[in-house]
Chains A and B, each alone.
Chain A
Amino acid sequence: MTSVPAMLRRGLLPLLLLSAAMPLAILGLASIGSDWFFPALLPGTFSLASWRNVVGTGALLGPALLASAALALATGLAAMVFGAFAGSAIAAATGWRRVIGAGAAFLPVAAPPVALATGLHATLLGAGLGSSIVGVFVAHVVPACGYTTLYFLGIFTVREGGHEDAARTLGAGRFDVLRRVTIPMMHRELLEALLLGAIVSWGQVALTLVAGGGSVRTLPLEVIDYLVAGQDQLAATGSLLLVIPPLAAFGLMRLALRNVELVLP
């Protein structure tokens, strides 16, 4: 007789497969399918028209994709550098200083994006950065730095600095230790932090909408507009473009994380 857990496992496996495969399958089909009206289960015709809107002259999604990519890269880099500095400093602290440091890093992560956006907007306007891509970059950097600081706080909490100590004993200065020991030893963690910061920026809507004042057009904003306008094919193409880079990054991270033990509270 089959046990209840075995039956549940057999029933859940197809559901998990559906959950994993559904995003790419449905968005992929919707991005190349035209004349896909109720009640058809599959599109009437297939066309690559929406993908031609990603590249080339007059492409509708191209500029937004470029803006999103530039913002994600810049945000990822800035958040990686800041997070490494802040995370290591907070990890080295003890007692109430560490508690306050960790609490401060949690703040931009726990604050709802809409609240963060409206709060930051006035500061950006005051600094003359309202409705500009630089203003949107600054707005994206705030939560991204929270995430990367927490990430590096975890890394530096369990990391032992024996190699750095040895280099110092041998006469290396602070810059040499950083350049010749810490960065080469932590290149994987730095890359992961860059990806983490980039992903935080990549999916932002509320912060972009408020800080950019609607004039900075990124991929998520275009996707919403196309979906609301009933342009499902373009919305699906934009969504796929939003999905593929984080999926690829996740795949790379899984490869990198194979030998790392996850530290949990």
Chain B
Amino acid sequence: MIRRGAGLAAFLVATPVLIGIAYSALASVGLLGPGSTGFSTASWASAFDDPQLLRGLGWSLWVASAATALATMAAVVVAALFRPGTRSSGVARLLAVMPLPLSHLAAGVLGVLVLGQSGLLARGAFMAGWIDQPAAMPALIYDQWGIGLIVVLAWKEFPFLALIAFSLLADRGRALEEAARTLGARGRAVFWAVTWPVLWRGLMPAVVAVFAFVAGTYEATVLLAPSDPLALPLLTMERYTDVGVAKRGEAHVLVLIGLVVGIGAVALHEAARARDRRAT
């Protein structure tokens, strides 16, 4: 009974996604969907011939890597510095996780209001006498490097990683650190020998999840990313909503690439973790 229940649950939760993947796979080779004319690899060829695809994919991976790295570093620093025990640490930990329930769209709107060329940062720079007009402000949104998007996504993901880092140090870190101190380790030695490995190992699943999520996020990207290069989620949506039916096949190729990035990151991490488990 229980075995059947687990199988049914797995089937029900995964089926809509698997149908979607199967549909995209068939539509990408012309076997399904509007304008399908029988098996053809034309959509794959034209998607990979288009320099926009590789640039968009590379750009999305760059933004996801940079935002995830920044958020992880901030979470590690805050978790290591603000340990339970004092009132100010408690306040800092609460402040760190407060933006957690904010939606990515609201974070994107904030990004426009703060980082735009006539945003609050530019106004502050004007007041300080650093710039004399909005155009003199360096572009932080819609910019080629995605600086504004990286900052917003790092800020948005930081509370999630910080929450896990706090919990890791409270659960496992404290006892191990005490053991290290008893054995004579001090300051930096405790951090590098105990705190950092505990945080790094424990945070990895969440870091991979953040990377996969950020690489495919649409909400903040549509508000803050440039039109050239076009981020992978935006490029997919553009192809999918194109009036030319022929572009739909390319959209399905991009969907499959997006899935490979998201699910591939999780699979790679699981493989590394399994290897790590075997080695220890």
Contacts and interface: CB of A to CB of B under 8 A. Distances in A.
Interface in A13-51: 13, 16-17, 19-20, 22-23, 26-27, 30, 37-41
Interface string B236-247: 110010000000
A92 B5 CA distance: 9
A122 interface: yes
Interface stretch (B38-46, B48-56, B178-186, B255-263): B255-263
B43 to A, nearest CB: 13
The B interface, classified by DSSP as helix, strand, loop or mixed, is helix
B110 A27 contact: yes
Contacts of A202: 103
B236 A118 contact: yes
Interface string B15-39: 0111111011001000011000000
Contacts of B96: 16, 19-20
B205 interface: yes
B211 to A, nearest CB: 11
A226 to B, nearest CB: 9
A116 interface: yes
B262 A20 contact: no
A243 B18 CA distance: 32
Given A13-B88, A100-B10, A107-B18, A239 B212 contact: no
B7 interface: yes
A146 B13 CA distance: 6
Interface residues of A, number: 79
A265 interface: yes
A145 B13 contact: yes
B105 interface: yes
A97 B81 CA distance: 42
Contacts of B167: 262, 264
Given A111-B259, A123-B23, A206-B237, A149 B9 contact: yes
B279 interface: no
A214 to B, nearest CB: 9
A114 B258 contact: yes
Contact of B78 (A16, A103, A246, A262): A16
A119 B20 contact: yes
Interface of B: 2-3, 5-14, 16-21, 23-24, 27, 32-33, 77-78, 81-82, 88, 91-92, 94-96, 98-107, 109-110, 112-114, 118, 120, 122-124, 126-127, 134, 155, 158, 164, 167-168, 171, 202, 205, 209, 212, 215-219, 222-223, 233, 236-237, 240, 251-252, 255-256, 258-259, 261-263, 266
Given A114-B255, A205-B218, A97 B6 contact: yes
Contacts of A16: 78, 92, 95-96
Contact of A108 (B3, B17, B103, B252): B17
Interface string A121-139: 0110000000000000000
Contact of A206 (B2, B9, B17, B218): B218
Contact of B23 (A26, A98, A122, A236): A122
A89 interface: yes
A38 B17 contact: no
A242 B103 CA distance: 7
Contact of A104 (B11, B109, B112): B11
B101 A199 contact: yes
A145 B78 CA distance: 33
A112 B213 CA distance: 7
Contact of A92 (B2, B219, B236): B2
B214 to A, nearest CB: 10
Interface stretch (A4-12, A53-61, A165-173, A177-185): A4-12
A118 B16 CA distance: 12
Given A13-B88, A20-B99, A203-B103, A115 B216 contact: yes
Given A90-B10, A97-B7, A104-B10, A116 B17 contact: yes
A5 B81 contact: yes
A115 B240 CA distance: 10
